[in-house]
């Protein structure tokens, strides 16, 4: 197991001369990381964060990352989308192939209600995607979303999804 430490971040940010205060992008993929830590306190200006292909079960400690635009957590062990409410600049979130079950879908999508800049969401490969009304539910719940799982959301799809949202929720 690898822990996210200031030393690891410095090592992975050699392109920025190890200066963390103005670091905008970091790749911490394929390191067997199990917990998101330290980043919010030392990398407040991070815009792009690659954490794919790790062992992360929980989205946490990202509250101070107000400038984060893209978060890649694909191929992890995430079961719930949470702790992203204050990531107000978030435009793209990739949670492809995680473990978000149908029972956590509504709570997960509710956790994105403050992320009005979110344009692209990737959830394919999660158990929740097997739910028949999955796409309609997500599209109806997040009307500002432009694409889901790499597929553009049309105006007609959005209208139908918002009309069917109450039926899907019950």
Contact between 125 and 97 under an 8 Å Cβ cutoff? The reply is: yes
pLDDT in tens, the chain (170 residues): 899 999 999 999 877 777 788 999 999 999 999 999 999 999 999 999 999 999 999 999 999 999 999 999 999 999 999 999 999 999 999 999 999 999 999 999 999 999 999 999 999 999 999 999 999 999 999 999 999 999 999 999 999 999 988 787 76
The model's pTM? 0.95
Q: Which CATH class is domain 6-169?
A: alpha beta
Domains of the chain: which residue ranges? 6-169
Residues in the chain: 170
Label the pairing between strands 147-148 and 120-122. Answer: parallel
């Amino acid at each position: 197991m690898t822990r996210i430490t200031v030393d690891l971040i410095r090592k992975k940010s050699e392109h920025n001369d190890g200066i963390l205060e103005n670091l905008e992008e970091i790749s911490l993929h394929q390191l067997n990381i199990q917990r998101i830590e330290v980043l919010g306190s030392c990398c407040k200006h991070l815009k792009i964060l690659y954490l794919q292909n790790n062992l992360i079960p929980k989205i946490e400690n990202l509250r101070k990352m107000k400038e984060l635009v893209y978060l890649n957590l694909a191929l992890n062990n995430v079961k719930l989308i949470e702790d992203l409410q204050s990531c107000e600049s978030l435009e793209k979130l990739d949670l492809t192939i995680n473990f978000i079950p149908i029972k956590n879908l509504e709570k997960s999508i509710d956790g994105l209600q403050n992320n009005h800049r979110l344009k692209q969401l990737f959830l394919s490969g999660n158990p929740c995607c097997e739910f028949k009304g999955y796409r309609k539910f997500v599209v109806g719940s997040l009307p500002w979303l432009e694409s889901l799982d790499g597929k553009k959301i049309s105006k007609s799809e959005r209208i139908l999804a918002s009309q069917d949202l109450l039926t899907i929720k019950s």
